[in-house]
Chains A and B, each alone.
Chain A
């Protein structure tokens, strides 16, 4: 039976419970539990190698592609286990989109970058595709900058524009959750501010999970923050609490820069 991911309505889009993950012999996630709340921005922070990318990639089964990767525990999307046999990975990836650290537009025109996904999912009418292009680019706050050059190659855009194009590409197939793994680490402060504003804007309609090394960024834009260390979720709480008065000594030491 194919999962349809519609079972829960409790405000948590994703619920992770005692998740363990191994790359071969190496355990990269240890008993991780956390919710991803609907229409909220959830930030994941922690030192390099603590498992942030691994965890966020689990949320749309990107780790399936890694050889020797083994996962135990529970990860539910809309109340349904996403790692059960029979889980519908295609529909999952359509509903949970991912933005990477380095902008990775496809080597094609700006327009084709956006229409690629919808076409795969069966949209053929040109009118409808045009509409999707305009809507997605507007949502990603890129429309004004590119509307006169839609048929130029995506690589002709600046890094910040490319990143917003990737966000537009993700939005083109109407996902419910947008995962962002360090989406601004290669961008200048102006492009970063645009992406941050965008994340806050998107949160009205979507649910956002963002991995960031920029603590101020996590504090500025997120509602909830998880602090990870050595594969464990050390503390997960409201962002204000984490950055103002964390409960865990390790969190305090990390965010105040007194670590290691």
Chain B
């Protein structure tokens, strides 16, 4: 294997690690929220350090590859994708961390809010993140075909969560602060979906060389 191949392999491994890490953070942050598990939430917050570390490690590595090898074709598409992916993955990690913080806050503020729609959002968001991480590792983009649908689904749920919590706030001002947290969580999860869509676009370009636009909501369509 030549040096470019082995450097690309190392970078790919780091991206996969970052992807799996943020997917895990998201999953665990949601579990900590559901179970009011502060210990787990703290664990998630602690993992963010590794996310930031990997982000700059991969950026350095990608820039080094560009400078040293001036890569072409699939190597170039992968390196360019890497530089974009790390930004999206870092944000997803940050949303996981934010949800974990919300879980800690909400633990001592029980509400009667049943949260079903928040759970449903979590399932979809985690599925999307796992999907892109898997697609990146396997270069199989067929599993990204339904991302527009999944994204629409997240949008729909978010609207329900907002409506529900806004009406609760109006009826019971004591729970208002907790309600704003649920609204924030819905917003985070919806943003996770947007970022997963952007990642999916980059992976599709990386694998097929074709530009697609999944996340039409970004353009306000």
User: Which residues on A are within 8 Å of B, measured CB to CB?
Assistant: 215-216, 219, 243-246, 251-252, 255-258
Known: A255-B73, A256-B72, A256-B73. 7 other contacts (CB 8 A): A243-B76, A244-B77, A244-B209, A245-B74, A252-B73, A257-B2, A258-B2
> Could you give 28 example pairs across A and B, Cβ below 8 Å?
A215-B70, A215-B72, A216-B70, A219-B72, A243-B72, A243-B73, A244-B73, A244-B77, A244-B209, A245-B73, A245-B74, A245-B77, A245-B208, A245-B209, A246-B73, A252-B73, A252-B74, A255-B72, A255-B73, A256-B4, A256-B71, A256-B72, A256-B73, A256-B75, A257-B2, A257-B69, A258-B2, A258-B5
Interface range for B: 10 to 19
Task: Tell me the nearest residue of chain A to B80, going by C-beta.
Answer: A244
Tell me, in angstroms, the Cα distance from A251 to B209 when the chains sit together: 15
Judged by DSSP, the binding face of B is helix
Task: Tell me the nearest residue of chain A to B8, going by C-beta.
Answer: A256
- Which residues of A have CB within 8 Å of B71? 256
- Which residues of A have CB within 8 Å of B72? 215, 219, 243, 255-256
- Which residues of B have CB within 8 Å of A246? 73
Tell me, in angstroms, the Cα distance from A251 to B70 when the chains sit together: 16
Quick one: which of A216, A245, A252, A255 has the most chain B CB within 10 A? A245
Task: Tell me the nearest residue of chain B to A243, going by C-beta.
Answer: B72
- Taking a contact as CB atoms under 8 Å apart, the answer to whether A244 and B76 are in contact is yes
The minimal Cβ–Cβ distance linking B221 to chain A, given in whole angstroms, is 27
Interface residues of B in 71-88 (CB under 8 A from A): 71-77
- Taking a contact as CB atoms under 8 Å apart, the answer to whether A256 and B70 are in contact is no
Cβ contacts B1-43/A at 8 Å (1 or 0 each): 0101100000000000000000000000000000000000000
The minimal Cβ–Cβ distance linking A203 to chain B, given in whole angstroms, is 22
The minimal Cβ–Cβ distance linking B96 to chain A, given in whole angstroms, is 34
Q: Closest 7 interchain pairs by CB?
A: A245-B209, A255-B72, A256-B75, A243-B72, A252-B73, A216-B70, A256-B73
- Which residues of A have CB within 8 Å of B209? 244-245
Task: Tell me the nearest residue of chain B to A252, going by C-beta.
Answer: B73
Quick one: which of B5, B71, B72 has the most chain A CB within 10 A? B72
The minimal Cβ–Cβ distance linking B6 to chain A, given in whole angstroms, is 12
